[in-house]
Amino acid sequence: MNNAESESTEQGWDEPWYRVRTDRFEASFLPSAGEDLDAVCNVDVEVRLTEDGSRWTATVFTLAEVERLMKRWSQTGEELGGRYFWCSDGLIVGDPGIDNMTRVLADLLSAGDFTQMLQRVDDE
């Protein structure tokens, strides 16, 4: 069992956010209205760390979603006809779903890679 699976979690809607609270962080996901949470493949997330209150953001994509976007862009001409994908705060995961994305965030935090992967939001 990894750290992500052993953490206690509380989750639910706080419209328009879907919030997941663990012992170490709160992740606020912004899925589309009516989107199946187990099938989410492209979503913005803000994470607030419990330890220091710092806030971090990312746009999480599945690999399949990146491929779908690039194929679409090859037809629309966007991004040089779909020849590249770029996102300043992008995090690509293998599997869809809010639960999977939460596990990835928890594992990144445990591995010490979290602050390298997400973008810090400065409080004003």
8-54 tens-digit pLDDT: 689 999 889 999 999 999 999 999 988 999 999 999 999 999 999 99
Q: Is residue 67 part of a domain?
A: no
Q: Is residue 73 part of a domain?
A: no
pLDDT of amino acid 2:
46
The whole domain housing 92 covers 3-60+88-121
Q: Is residue 81 part of a domain?
A: no
User: How is residue 23 written in tokens?
Assistant: 């012992």
Q: Is residue 29 part of a domain?
A: yes
What's the whole-number mean pLDDT along residues 96-110?
96
Report the DSSP beta bridge partners of residue 26.
Answer: 21, 48
Q: Is residue 15 part of a domain?
A: yes
pLDDT of amino acid 33:
86
pLDDT of amino acid 8:
65
Q: How many domains does the chain have?
A: 1
pLDDT at 1 over 50: no
What percentage of the chain exceeds 70 in pLDDT?
92
Q: If we measure between CA atoms, which residue out of 97, 18, 11 comes closest to residue 61? A: 97
Confidence of residue 4 (pLDDT cuts 50, 70, 90): very low
Q: Is residue 108 part of a domain?
A: yes
Contact 120, 54 (CB under 8 A): yes
What does residue 49 show for φ and ψ, rounded to 5 degrees?
Answer: -80, 135
What percentage of the chain exceeds 90 in pLDDT?
84
Q: CA 48 from chain center: how many Å?
A: 13
Q: Is residue 39 part of a domain?
A: yes
